[in-house]
Amino acid sequence: MNNQTMKALTFKRYGKSPGIGLAEVPRPTLKGDELLVQVHAASVNPIDNMIPTGMFKPVLHFQLPATLGSDLAGVVTEVGRNVTRFKPGDAVFASIFDLGTGAIAEFAVVPERAAALKPANLDFVQAAALPMVGLTSWQALKERASLQAGQKVFIPAGAGGIGTFAIQLAKHLGATVGTTTSTGNVELVRSLGADEVVDYKQQAFENVLRDYDAVLGTVRGDAIEKSIAILKPGSRIISLIGPLDAAFARAKRLNFVLRFVFGLMSRKIMRLAKQRDVSYSFLFMHPDGAQLTEIGKLLETQRIKPVIDKVFPFEQAKEALEYLAQGRSKGKVVVKMR
């Protein structure tokens, strides 16, 4: 391998057989406001399995073949001429979600605004586990829901990658947390701070939980519709899995047709929410180095800790995605490059 190429986990096409695998690709070139990062670890997220299906094709733009992954931790090897906050040798972590490039590679390009210094007490594997789940939880609970001390938030699938982080952040904000999990994970979610834990194999959460102020939509199927029953009037549903809505289409400056389509997709949930005087919105996390720096401080003071299920070597990056797709991981799944 020469200095102009690198190994990356790519997909070749959208659809049933996306051709996911390790490939030789050109090493990325830097713009003035970007960092070149030698990736030490990258974590995988459910959306990494959805993107190759074409589900987000209207919204996320990749040039095929495209490198997968958006969470990384590594060391800066080069900086663009306009970069002022980072220098070669800095250990950083970042999400590069929706920026058109991927993280499961030997090198990745990170805009300066998306990067943050790696918390000193975390290794690269731990740091790589955090950006997507950390920023998603922060933007959903702090920004969109304005979660206050004393309020109640329902975070289903508490043992998953997003759940394990969001429970801890909600507790840090002073909220009471309800969650669902299977019998074997009850202790784990309790140890993270969950107050009301519903074993979904034994009970339906909508028959148990009451008077919630916010719901984080993390589970496919009809869980979001069912969650309306547990909410107080005036509360909020923030969904990470859809349905996409017209407000999201407008924020992404998508065309009229997509606004209309997303409006139709979310029509039922909007109607049900309105009947209960509840608001519904879809959230697409956006990279933000300043927020990630704040999240890093919570990890340095150990108010929040990363929860990692399994670490795969780079050669088995594809297997890491397949393992994640089974939906049984407790916490995050990470790929270690170095």
Per residue in 210-252, pLDDT (tens digit) is: 999 999 998 877 888 999 999 999 999 999 988 889 998 888 8
How far is the CA of 241 from the CAs of 142, 271, 332, in angstroms?
A: 18, 18, 18
List the domain range (segments joined by +) for residue 33: 5-129+306-336
Structure tokens at 183: 């019998």
Task: Calculate ∠ Cα 86-87-93, nearest 5°.
Answer: 55
30 & 60 share domain? yes
pLDDT tens string 118-151? 999 999 999 999 999 999 999 999 999 999 999 9
Task: Report how far residue 109's alpha carbon sits from residue 95's, in angstroms, rounded to the nearest whole number.
Answer: 11
Structure tokens at 143: 């920004």
- pLDDT for 152: 98
295 assigned to some structural domain: no
- pLDDT beyond 90 at 25: yes
The last residue of a domain, from among 267, 282, 297: 282
157 assigned to some structural domain: yes
287 assigned to some structural domain: no
Contact 106, 24 (CB under 8 A): no
Q: Which residue has the tokens 């589970």?
A: 219
DSSP 98-147: TSS--SSBSEEEEEGGGEEEPPTTS-HHHHHTSHHHHHHHIIIIIIIS--
299 assigned to some structural domain: no
- pLDDT for 307: 96
pLDDT tens string 58-91? 888 899 999 999 999 999 999 999 999 999 999 9
In a 3-state reduction of DSSP, which class is residue 188? helix
Contact 300, 121 (CB under 8 A): yes
Question: How many domains does one find in the chain?
Answer: 2
Q: Which of 161, 227, 165, 217 is nearest to 194 (CA)?
A: 165
141 & 87 share domain? no
Mean pLDDT of 163-173: 97
Task: Report how far residue 94's alpha carbon sits from residue 180's, in angstroms, rounded to the nearest whole number.
Answer: 29
Mean pLDDT of 153-173: 96
The whole-chain average pLDDT of the chain stands at 94
Please list the residues that pair with 223 across neighbouring strands. Answer: none
pLDDT tens string 273-295? 999 999 999 999 999 999 999 99
156 & 264 share domain? yes
55 & 191 share domain? no
Structure tokens at 83: 């970069």
Q: Which of 181, 145, 137 is nearest to 280 (CA)?
A: 145
220 assigned to some structural domain: yes
- Which strand (E) or helix (H) includes residue 91? strand 91-95
157 & 239 share domain? yes
pLDDT tens string 46-60? 999 999 999 888 888
Q: Quick check: bond before 65 cis, omega within 30?
A: yes
Lowest mean pLDDT among 19-33, 97-111, 170-184, 236-250: 236-250
Tell me the CATH number at 318.
3.90.180.10
Lowest mean pLDDT among 18-27, 128-137, 262-271, 312-321: 262-271
% of the chain beyond a pLDDT of 90: 84
- pLDDT beyond 70 at 297: yes
DSSP 230-287: GEEEEEEEEESS----HHHHHHTT--HHHHHHHHHHTHHHHHHHHHTT-EEEE-----
Q: Which residue has the tokens 């938030």?
A: 153
- pLDDT for 100: 87
Please list the residues that pair with 108 across neighbouring strands. Answer: 37
- pLDDT for 2: 53
- pLDDT for 309: 96
183 & 96 share domain? no
> What confidence category does residue 1 fall into, taking pLDDT thresholds of 50, 70 and 90?
very low
78 & 157 share domain? no
